[in-house]
Chains A and B, each alone.
Chain A
Amino acid sequence: MFRRGWFLPIAAALGFSFLYAPIVSLVIFSFNESRLVTVWSGFSTKWYGELFRDPQMLGAAWLSLQIAALSASIALVLGTLAAVALVRFRRFRGRTLFSGMVSAPLVMPDVITGLALLLLFVAMESFIGWPRGRGMLTIVIAHSTFCMAYVCVVVQSRLSDFDRSLEEAAMDLGASPVRTFFDITLPIIAPALVSGWLLGFTLSLDDLVIASFVSGPGSSTLPMVIFSKVRLGVSPDVNALATIIIGIVATGVLIATIIQLRSKPKKARA
């Protein structure tokens, strides 16, 4: 029943159609002439044109891209440091608290994270006068904090299964720990760093709830604009936007998978 039967292929096929059918229909209807998103009335790319003439949408997209790039970079540095600490330093004071703090943002409901950070920013502003008001800076801080948890998980798994004897050899040959890290460790964990950064970037680009709490007037991110449009019903330009995003993501994931398959040594099947 399970190894060579019909059950698994059918279950998997159904599961994957469930995952993809709504996305496929969304992409198809982005090329629909009619404003009614569900009635097909001919091929058209006018919603794409509309999208690129919408200054609110373009402004929000640009802001979101900047925030995502900044947050992913900060999260990359902090998350990698945290991963190194957790994997390499076997024992230190407060380790349990530290590892708890690193992994808790992964499952913390967004509404709690958002509210907590907002209340912190408001309290900080009234005590020390920083951060003044809320906007891009506060969103970047919030996003860096939850993205670093994801970076840490990705880097941690790469760090814990690579051959430590390479590092030991470098140190035996007289390299300092810092030099060993930059010369040996960093190149080896580079793929994890790339995927960690990309993960942080997409998570930041995607976040609605946390950004809604910590943003200020005039700093609406792309998801916030999309959400306010979608709340009022289906709008075809959102379909067009979704198609563009899906296209970019699909290309990126495809390239990453091909690179990974190419770089994997033939014998790597364990």
Chain B
Amino acid sequence: MNIKKYLKDKLYVIITFSIIYFILILMFMAFKINIQVTLVSSILLFLFLVIILTTEYYKKKSFYTNLLNNIEALDKAYLVLETINKPNFYDGEILYQALYEINKSMNEFIKMLERQMADFKEYIEIWIHEVKIPISSLSLMAHNHKDKFDKKTSEQLKKIENYVEQVLYYVRSENAEKDYLINKVSLKKVINNVALKNKDDLLTNNITLKVENVNYEVFTDSKWLEYIINQIINNSIKYKRNINDSIIKIEAVEEKDKTTIMIEDNGIGIPSTDLPKIFEKTFTGYNGRIKTKSTGMGLNICKNLCEKLGHKIYAESKVDKYTKIYIVIAKNNFYLV
């Protein structure tokens, strides 16, 4: 609290006091009252004013300074009420009460939103499980009746499947709850699953998949890591260059405290101005605009999933040369259940 501003605020008190004091002195003079009496009463009156103003100032100062400091210190400012004592002056009490009511209503609102979010998430998860049933039926039908379904049907089905999966992982990555399970996972197995998933796409696009040195075990959630690698491979396929020897190379390096997975392609690459932003939500960039319709969600979901799992993800790229995505998994069995 600033003393100048406080005094300015109390200017009316000082002015009123001065006027009354001035009238009083005039009266004292009119009644010819002894100068000593005038002096003593003047001192007493001034003392009265100063005491009133300073006690009020310090009372308020201690409350408001505390309040402001705590707001500053908290990362969730709305929790400030829990950290301060109820003030012992009237307008402070009103403020405190008002804050309390505001807080309460906001908490109720947040609770309601949280409940809505949870319901929505639950619904999405159920919906996804349900929509997978007709997709499964269709893919079986496409396989059994090759005469009626051509290869394009399966390709489109695979796209639907990918988009559906993206929603699922988006919901999972955006939610605060912990719905993953960290386990000792064979990296080779995870990569094999991704490879099988993308086999047809890689073969029809004439892309060579090279997998080297992946016989390691890492601490992660296998489903999530599978999704992340799958997303990166999908991007590599989508943004391949029109050359004859397209390659996607997956390699891992194990060090004392971490395992790094590198996924490298020789596709169109990412302009250096776009590179720092590729993990941002709904960022599409130059490539997203020229090549295909891009939602700009894929890599953002990857990043969020990585953050939740405690992995690091980053990219290096050179236009028309390569894109390398690195995933760093710490070798810490601290997470193990």
A-B complex is real: no
B interface with A by C-beta (< 8 Å): none
A interface with B by C-beta (< 8 Å): none
